[in-house]
Structure 1
Amino acid sequence: MVRRIQEEDLQAIELAVALHSEGAMVQQIADALKNAPPRRTLQYRLKSLVDDGRLIMEGEGRAARYFVPQIVEAAGEATARAEAQAEGEALLPLSKEGEGIRAYVRKAVEARKPVGYNRAFLDSYRPNESFYLSAAERTHLREVGTPKIAEQPAGTYARQILNRLLIDLSWNSSRLEGNTYSLLDTKRLIDFGEEAEGKQRLEAQMILNHKDAIEFLIGEVDEIGFNRYTVLNLHALLANNLLADPQAAGSLRHIGVGIERSVFHPLEVPQQIEECFDQILATASAITDPFEQAFFVMVQIPYLQPFDDVNKRVSRLSANMPLIKSNLAPLSFEGVPRKAYTNAVLGIYELNKVELLKDVFIWAYERSADRYAAVQQSLGEPDPFRLRHREALREVIRAVIGGRMDKKRATAHLKGWTHEKIDEAEREQFRETAENELLSLHEGNFARYQVRPSEFAAWREAWNR
């Protein structure tokens, strides 16, 4: 007759194992027991505990170690927390749903279920009826993102902080792609055209592409929108000189692509890619809330992968379009941990769940809004005359720089140009404003006139003769 194992004997073994957080070997367990049974009996009881899930065994034979499951789980959680802290994710507060998504996408690729593109994820969204952001979240974002300025033409706020935005957004968006330029490296590159030593040329190209794309969005604020013209040209600017096929810049994808470290398989049929791309643009255009618009494209553009590459960059800059047009604080992604952003996008790819990306979006926008509120305060109130004539000033100053005019030629050009284009009552003030602007230009502030460093350097040489 087989003798039933007494529960107290099993509990004693569990307690003996628990004394060793790094795992207990058979002899260590025997030494810890008050009345240790014969070795074969102890092994039999250990097997019973393992079969019942009360202990975990790792290794075989004499090298086998036994663990209490709760200790293994706690160690795993501690490791995950340590990794998150090292990656900066611990700074970012997550919702319960966001934590669940992160836990899933942090599993080994082999432990995650392969998935394809789910058209229903896009089809089920109804603009102004479906919402990724709740009413309370949208209200909160508008409260923190509305600058304390009088009502002004679209893009005015972004123009006021353009120099800061060029550096912040170019650096942070590039950093999220693995670019190793520092913030100071980025500033030198944008302000002076100086590439950082020891860095790859493509990293400088990526940052300069961001600069061009941001200037496009702000410079063409009255023309941009969620349409093919804007998004295709945005991709062309961001992908300039970075793709193996130069014709792929600004063109929808005709090849299959894979996602590194993901079990998601994007669409491969060009006709379907084009249909979904047009549907994304039409849906985004119909959304009335700028924050919902911004977040919608951050979700759907990367999920579709409409381009050969540079999809997430397109989504991040596209997200800024409704914010720029509405004179809201832009989203520069300052401080967003790269791993947190990557995990959030993986949650979209593999689970069609937006909560983790929403946690990242709201936290990042709060930081951006605080930063640009401080920047605006340091800049003071804008000059209403300069604001009213901002396009005319940009046009005439770009002409002076592009024409490499010295002071004498510039004075003559300003006089003739002003006489032709400015009302008589404001001509003198306009000329004075333009002349002061030309005199105050230097390497750190010429970017707002959308001229390249080489153009500016050539003009300065002529100007200072």
Structure 2
Amino acid sequence: MPKIVSNAELNEIAELIAGHPDGIGLASLLRAVGNGISRRTVQRRLASLVALARVVTAGEGRAVKYRLAPIAGEADSVIAPISGQAPGEIYVPVSPAGEAIKAHVRQPLHQRQPVSYDLRFLEAYRPNETLYLPEVLRAQLHSLGRSPAEQSAAGTFARDIMNRLLIDLSWASSRLEGNTYTRLDTERLIEFGQAAEGKDAFETQMILNHKAAIEYLVREVDRVGANSETILALHALLSDGLLRDPQAGGRVRHRAVEIGGSVYLPVALPQRLEELFGIVLDLAAEIRDPFEQAFFLMVHLPYLQPFEDVNKRVSRLAANIPLIRCNLCPLSFIDVPTQAYIDAMIGVYELNRIELLRDVFVWAYERSCQQYVAVRQQLVPPDIFRLRYRAELTEAVRAIVRGGQAASAEAMRTAIPVTVAEGDRAKFFALIEEEFKNLHEGNAIRFGLGPLEFAAWKRDG
């Protein structure tokens, strides 16, 4: 017969959690309770608190955090189902449809009907006919996200704001998984390689994985897209060192998974999962509007749960693929309330309803754009001449470096491609000369040159 957990035992754990408004992980909680209570006992009490809706979870796997559930209204000895928004709770503006979803997902687990993957949700979507984002809303998002580089080569704007994007998106996306790094901690880690004191190595790895994945999206912008190669690569980068099975990174899962805090049961059969993964990406690739494609990926990748873990992180970075390719302001998820995002995702899982997630998506994008207004204003207008001869410039610089030549005037003149018009050759020569003055290991990647390759050329001559 299962052991009955008393209110006093539950209250002891709840009081410890209450001392950590931003959430506390299992390892930290075990240290707080001391050696008198076993790990299994603490886990059982946590499960009871979650079932009673006294505690909510954020994050997945080992990154899961526990915090007290926000409570609306006055409480007596019996805790009523949570509804509405608690005083002081940070949330996003919510539509009436979003409020209905929120009310459902705030019910205790035992009051929600278990559901499995519903193929009809995916089958009902017709690319460029079904629209999760109405036309007026998409027009508003396009207006907000327009950048000075909109007519430039794909990925130009993301490269222009790369340092800011790496910090903002790495920090904000990790925070939605319960990561306790501050933005300043994240900046020091990314810019100087300094891990924050007192932080779990798991959290540090999560931040660094985001950095690697974002760099991949921007560096390989001409190759990335809504395709399996890109999504699998994102998962491999984001999950590096964080999975129990190292071979699970970058491949569709082969075992069943469960969703913490939800009654949703994802597809378990590997062959079926592979098939649906391909269908989701085929549909996404057909969507012409970048915002509609971004939101579709945010909805259907987590709903399918194609990986053992790190699904939501993959979907958040995947949502940036069409935005980066179209030189639109990226979606950084800055200041997105964790509980609002969790509620929205559970609404997709359990109800196949996207309205609350759409509310979060639109608010998050507006907030991201506000962050980058000042950055956009500081950007130098694109050099039209340089844009016209972008391919030729890359060819010339690469030819000199890979040919092991010194960057002399003679070598630069010889390297000018025949496709450069006669009247433009003098100006093109000046452009090559300027590029070599500013070339170093960190930016040589713009010409397809790796840091080691460039360093070897510089060392040799």
My pick for the range that moved more, 411-420 or 134-143, is 411-420
User: In structure 1, how many angstroms separate the alpha carbons of the residues matched to 2:408 and 2:212?
Assistant: 28
Structure 1 stretches lacking a partner, 5+ long: 1-69, 404-408
Query: Residues 155-211 of structure 1, C-alpha deviation per residue, up to 9 Å, x if partnerless?
Result: 222222122111111111111111111111111111122211111222222112111
1:189 counterpart = 2:189? yes
Structure 2 length-normalised TM: 0.72
Please name the residue that 2:381 is paired with: 381
Distance 1:397 1:275, change over 3 A: same
Distance 1:142 1:431, change over 3 A: closer
Q: What residue identity is the alignment partner of 2:115?
A: V
User: In structure 2, how many angstroms separate the alpha carbons of the residues matched to 1:315 and 1:397?
Assistant: 36
User: In structure 1, how many angstroms separate the alpha carbons of the residues matched to 2:154 and 2:410?
Assistant: 30
1:198 counterpart = 2:198? yes
User: In structure 1, how many angstroms separate the alpha carbons of the residues matched to 2:246 and 2:231?
Assistant: 17
Query: CA contact under 8 A between 2:98 and 2:359: conserved in structure 1?
Result: yes
Query: CA contact under 8 A between 1:163 and 1:447: conserved in structure 2?
Result: no
Please name the residue that 1:218 is paired with: 218
1:420 counterpart = 2:423? no
Distance 1:199 1:140, change over 3 A: same
Tell me how far 1:72 sits from its aligned partner: 6.9
Tell me how far 1:95 sits from its aligned partner: 0.4
Secondary structure of 2:319's counterpart equals: helix
Distance 1:399 1:84, change over 3 A: farther
User: In structure 1, how many angstroms separate the alpha carbons of the residues matched to 2:239 and 2:313?
Assistant: 9
1:342-353 equivalences under 5 Å are 342-353=342-353
Tell me how far 1:256 sits from its aligned partner: 0.6
Please name the residue that 2:434 is paired with: 433
1:250-261 equivalences under 5 Å are 250-261=250-261
1:224-235 equivalences under 5 Å are 224-235=224-235
Distance 1:437 1:410, change over 3 A: farther
Query: CA contact under 8 A between 1:418 and 1:427: conserved in structure 2?
Result: no
Distance 1:278 1:419, change over 3 A: same
Please name the residue that 1:85 is paired with: 88
Query: CA contact under 8 A between 1:155 and 1:326: conserved in structure 2?
Result: yes
Query: Residues 122-179 of structure 1, C-alpha deviation per residue, up to 9 Å, x if partnerless?
Result: 1111111211111221121112112245622222222221221111111111111111
Query: CA contact under 8 A between 1:397 and 1:449: conserved in structure 2?
Result: no
Q: What residue identity is the alignment partner of 2:259?
A: I
If you compute each CA radius of gyration, which structure gives the higher value, 1 or 2? 1
Please name the residue that 1:286 is paired with: 286
User: In structure 2, how many angstroms separate the alpha carbons of the residues matched to 1:216 and 1:170?
Assistant: 13
Query: CA contact under 8 A between 1:162 and 1:448: conserved in structure 2?
Result: no
User: In structure 2, how many angstroms separate the alpha carbons of the residues matched to 1:103 and 1:191?
Assistant: 42
Q: What residue identity is the alignment partner of 1:199?
A: K
Please name the residue that 2:123 is paired with: 123
Structure 1 length-normalised TM: 0.72
Secondary structure of 2:309's counterpart equals: coil
Please name the residue that 1:272 is paired with: 272
Distance 1:141 1:150, change over 3 A: closer
Query: CA contact under 8 A between 1:418 and 1:431: conserved in structure 2?
Result: no
User: In structure 2, how many angstroms separate the alpha carbons of the residues matched to 1:307 and 1:220?
Assistant: 23
Secondary structure of 1:293's counterpart equals: helix
1:330-341 equivalences under 5 Å are 330-341=330-341
My pick for the range that moved more, 241-250 or 388-397, is 388-397
Secondary structure of 2:335's counterpart equals: coil
Paired positions, count: 375
1:152-191 equivalences under 5 Å are 152-191=152-191
User: In structure 2, how many angstroms separate the alpha carbons of the residues matched to 1:241 and 1:199?
Assistant: 16
Moved over 3 A (4+): 70-73, 75-84, 382-400, 409-428, 446-451
User: In structure 1, how many angstroms separate the alpha carbons of the residues matched to 2:409 and 2:431?
Assistant: 9
Please name the residue that 1:302 is paired with: 302
Please name the residue that 1:144 is paired with: 144
Please name the residue that 2:95 is paired with: 95
Tell me how far 1:371 sits from its aligned partner: 2.1
User: In structure 1, how many angstroms separate the alpha carbons of the residues matched to 2:310 and 2:228?
Assistant: 16
Please name the residue that 2:240 is paired with: 240
Tell me how far 1:283 sits from its aligned partner: 0.6
Query: CA contact under 8 A between 1:145 and 1:328: conserved in structure 2?
Result: yes
Distance 1:275 1:84, change over 3 A: farther
Distance 1:433 1:76, change over 3 A: farther
Please name the residue that 2:24 is paired with: none
Tell me how far 1:447 sits from its aligned partner: 7.4
User: How much identity, in percent, do the aligned residues show?
Assistant: 49
Secondary structure of 1:330's counterpart equals: coil
Query: CA contact under 8 A between 1:397 and 1:438: conserved in structure 2?
Result: no
Tell me how far 1:382 sits from its aligned partner: 3.3
My pick for the range that moved more, 206-215 or 76-85, is 76-85
Query: Residues 197-236 of structure 1, C-alpha deviation per residue, up to 9 Å, x if partnerless?
Result: 1112222221121112112112222211111111111111
Query: CA contact under 8 A between 1:205 and 1:241: conserved in structure 2?
Result: yes
Structure ranking higher in helix proportion: 1
User: In structure 2, how many angstroms separate the alpha carbons of the residues matched to 1:373 and 1:295?
Assistant: 22
Query: CA contact under 8 A between 2:113 and 2:263: conserved in structure 1?
Result: yes
Tell me how far 1:398 sits from its aligned partner: 10
